[in-house]
Amino acid sequence: MDKKNALRAGALAAGTTLMMLLMSSPASALTRDDGDDPGPGLSVIETLGLFVVAPIVLYLVIHGLVMIGDKKHKQKDTTSSNINTKAQAEAEAEAKAGSKA
């Protein structure tokens, strides 16, 4: 039964790929369509700025905003920051006892 499903999935994937290739052939045509009015091309610097620098800058801005929000969240968190383990509680008790003596 598994071979039959695998064969069916393979045939479906092959058929879909073939149809996509056949339907996309006009996209690589060298002749212009009626009403086609392409603008001027981008320079190398413009291309690098648009497709390399801009996404990196956007990532860094989003990352920075998330980090700022995370730091504010940690300061307001009262549920997990006031929980001490037994070792921490004993160490704090010894430190208080040592400072009083």
d(CA 46, CA 54): 10
pLDDT at 42 over 80: yes
Reported pTM: 0.42
Question: CB within 8 A of 74, min separation 6: which ones?
Answer: 81
Question: Does residue 63 contact residue 71 with C-beta atoms inside 8 Å?
Answer: no
**Mean pLDDT of the region 7-31:** 82
Round the average pLDDT of the chain to a whole number and report it. Answer: 81
Provide the pLDDT for residue 86: 72
* pLDDT value at 52 more than 90: yes
Whether the per-residue pLDDT at 60 is higher than 90: the answer is yes
